[in-house]
Structures are given as structure tokens and as C-alpha cells.
Chains A and B, each alone.
Chain A
Amino acid sequence: MTDRIHPLLAVFAGLVFLFLVGPLVIMIGASLSDTNFLTFPPRGLTLHWFTHIFEVTAFKTTAITSLELAFAGTFLSLLFGIPAAYALNRFRVELPSWLSTVYVLPILIPEIVFGFSLMKSVTIDSGFPVWLTLLIGHALLVLPYSVRVVSASLAAFDFSIEEAAISLGSPPLKTFFTIVLPNIRAGVIAAFILAFITSINDVSVSLFLTGPGISTLPIQILAYMEQFFDPTMAAVSVLLMLLTVGVMAIVEATLGLTFLTK
């Protein structure tokens, strides 16, 4: 096979990568500027804006809320999603085919519509506390990832191994944890990462579910930006990028980044 790439195409791809990475580099530069407005290249270098983040208590409290939500929401989605994915594969012929569509509805319905409807029906009409609705929103938002990614790795699992264990007297639940789960570990980790990232970056669902008492980091950033336009925002963004780098390192170490293209 000829692997030569037309030079024009190579130049084009180079420009695309410049387009992809450039804005993030600019953001890092702007976060280090010692001016009190956003500029690039930075005039003088300072880490002042990074320390300023920690002086704004709203950032700290919302960052904690975001992390708690992402962990709890992802955990709930796996708690409900793994059994569902298991049932979809184990009882493939016996379960109705529309069932798998139900699990991906949170992706199919526009997030902002989902958030708005949750606020109206669950918080206001049913009187659920705001934090609970927010948690429900995040858990449902990421459920499709849990079901689909775990389901994909269960599709490659040979259920006769499980049957062998059970026929040799191992109880079903124990069999699941000792036989099935270790075999789909990669899928569970992948689902966790995708769900976590989706939750922590979410704007559209949280938008209607946050209020004066409780907010998430992305919503807080949006609110801050409407009032101030200083390098603090760039510094917060850079910290979030570092979090992304951390997640990518975990992905690379556990699954290899190429799993994302599958």
C-alpha cells in the first residue's frame, strides 16, 4: 500500500493541529500574564492568578461539588448500568430489543431539554432537594456510557466460563465478582473515565439544576465570566486542563489511548 500523503494534505493537517492546540497554548500564556486583563503573549510572568483562584471561595466550593457529583453520579450510573449491560448480553435473545434504546435516551434527548424538564418536574413539582435532582441529572446523563461501554466489553466475554463456575457450585453473585468482573475490567475503567469527564465538564444539564446554594465549577466559571474578564479564568482553565492531562495519563496507562477511536 502506498503510504505517501500528498504534501498539500500534510500541510492542511498541520494547520488543523495548530488550530486544535493553539487556543490552549494561548490560554496557558494568558494565565501567566501579570496584566489584569487577558492578553497574549503575556507581558510579564506571574503565578498570581493561580493563587487568586484559591482566594475566590466560590471556585473552591463548586470544584468540590463538581468532584463529588462526578464520583457519585458515575458510581450510581455504574451501579445501575453494569447489571443492565450484563442482562443485555447474557439474556440477549430473551429481552426485547427496544430495551437497549431506553438506556441511550439520555444521549438522544438534548441535554438542555433534559435539564430543564428535570428542574420543572422533579425539583419544582415533586419537591426534590436541589442537590438530589442535580445528582439524578448527572447519573442519568452518564448512564449511556456505563451501559454501552461495559456492554461492548461483555460482548466479547464468553458466558460459558460463568456457567462452568456456577455449575461447579459457585453462587451467582460471587461468580460475577470473581469471574465476570475481572474479565470486563477494561470496559468498566473506560466507562468510568468517559462518565467522569462528561459529568465534570457538563454545562447544559447542570444549568437549570444549580441555584444560589449549590453550583458546579463550569456553571460558576460561566457566572464569573459575566462579571470579570481577568486572567483568573485562564488560570482555572489551565488547572482543568491539567486534570485532563491526568485523566489521559490514566487512560494511556490502563487501556492505551487508541481505545478512544474504537
Chain B
Amino acid sequence: MNTMRKWNLSLPAALAVVLLLVVPVVATFTTTFTQPQGAFAPYLAFFNSGFRRTVLWRTVEVALITTVLSLVIGFLTAYVISKVPGKAKSVMIIAAVFPLLTGVVVRSFAWMIILGKNGILNDFLIWTGLIDAPLAMLYTEGAVIVAMVYLFVPLMILTLVGVLDNIPKDVIEASISLGASPASTFRQVILPLSVPGLIVGAVLVFTGSFTSYATPQLLGGERQMMMGTFLYQRAMVTFDWVGASTVAAIMVVVTIAIVLVMGRIARKLNPMAV
């Protein structure tokens, strides 16, 4: 009876994923390999185009910079949060969670108000006399990065507060009672023990920013086309579905490669696993 039950309960959801997610995504992959011009023709076309290489490279660059900045900002902030006492800690967690639960569109839009030509930052800089004419900050790579860091820092903070809270207090106390300064305790005990969490966070941020659509669309526009916005443009503006499918396939390959490679690194670096 259990044989039937375990499959009756587990298969409907699994079948739904396979039929409605795996099959369509595989179909997208398949179209890129079954073109009359040859199996890899769409990929050759992609990598032979300077514009498309720029889009891919820009996306990798933006995702990498966003990941590094979010890691540093998120880790230091999470470290502070993990050290403050109860009440202040919950206030800080609420402040971090709030943006996280607010939608991507809303949060990206906030940066349009700040960075726009008549935006707050330009108004402020002109008021201080630092500049005479408004700077073109919107639709630059920098604008996309700032908004993405804004998007992902809360996620990083939450991931890392959990990790830091799970470090046994005894280990830290042992380090201090053996004469290590707070700085070297941080460097030699807390940091290595946080590596698995830092890697989980890095993977989340990298894949999230690499595949994002709304933020590059709003803050980068046509000029700073990224993989997500390029996929949309190919599919819905030029109706080049093979081109769009190629972009989609490259996105999946990069994402899965990052997840696998980082997962392997995480297992190697995990000091608890020795």
C-alpha cells in the first residue's frame, strides 16, 4: 500500500514540473539545434556578433560586480546585526526584510526617481554647486549596478545573519580566551566558518542578477541591453524566436555552470566537512 501512496503523493507535482517546465525548456533548447543552417549555427551567429558579445559580457560584468559588492556590504552588515542585542536586532532585520518583500519593479523605480535627469541626486549636486548641469546617470551601467546591489543586499543580509547565528558561540569564545584579538577572531574563525553561506549568497545574487529583466529594463534601457532585456527584445520586438531561444539557452547554461562550480568550491572550502 505504501508503494502506491508514495508515488500517488509525490508524482503529481513532479509530473507538473516535468511536463510544464522541463519539456518546454528542452523544446527551447531543441529549436537552437535543429536549424537548417546547421546544429550550432544560432550559437555561431550569437558569438560572431560584436553587439551580442557585448551584451553577454556586460551582463557577466554587471552580475559579478553586483555579487562582490553585495557580498561585502551584506556580510559586514550581517556581522553587525548578529552582534547587536535582541530588540535592535529585530528592528534591523525588519529594515532588511522590508525592501526584500517589496517588488522588483517598485525598488528599481525608486532609483529612477533618484538617478533621473531631474532626479534627486542631480538636484542635490547642482544645489551644492558641485556640478552646473545635470549628469546623465540613468541608462548607464552604473545605474543598473546600484539598483541591483540595492535589490540583492537584503537577500545577502538575511542569508548571512542565519549563517552567523549558527556559528557556535563556544568556538568564538575559545578563540578569544586563547588570546586572539576581535579582528583576528573575525578573520580566522568567523570568516572561514561563513564561507559556505557566502557561497550560497553569491550564487543567489549572481544568478539573480545575470537573469534579471526589470532592473536592466528600467535603469539600463536600450543602451545598456543585458541578457534578460535582449531575450525579450529578440522574442517580442523582432520576433526572432531562434535568436531568443539561443539567448535563453546560454542563460541556462551559465546559471547551471555557476551553481555546479560554486557548489563544488563550497564543499572544498567548508571547514566543518574536514
Contact = CB atoms under 8 A, between A and B. Distances in A.
Contacts of B76: 9, 12-13, 16
Interface string B11-38: 0111011101111110110000000000
Interface in B231-272: 231-232, 235-236, 241, 244-245, 248, 251-252, 255-256, 259
Nearest to B18: A102
Interface of B: 2-3, 5-6, 8-10, 12-14, 16-18, 20-25, 27-28, 73, 76-77, 79-81, 83-85, 90, 92-99, 101-107, 109-114, 116, 118-120, 123, 150, 153-154, 158, 161-162, 165, 169, 172-173, 176, 182, 207, 210-214, 217-218, 228, 231-232, 235-236, 241, 244-245, 248, 251-252, 255-256, 259
A118 B79 CA distance: 41
B165 A27 contact: no
Contacts of A261: 93, 158, 161-162, 165
A229 B92 CA distance: 32
Contact of B248 (A3, A10, A103, A113): A113
Interface of A: 1-6, 9-10, 12-13, 16-17, 19-21, 23-24, 26-27, 30, 37-40, 80-81, 83-84, 86-88, 90-91, 94-95, 99, 102-103, 105-106, 108-114, 116-118, 120-122, 125, 136, 139-140, 143, 147, 172, 197, 200-201, 203-204, 207-208, 218, 221-222, 225, 229, 233-234, 237, 240-241, 244-245, 247-248, 257-258, 260-262
A23 B252 contact: no
Contact of A260 (B22, B93, B107): B93
A257 B97 contact: yes
Contacts of A9: 76, 79-80
A113 B176 contact: no
A237 B106 contact: yes
Contacts of A114: 21, 24-25
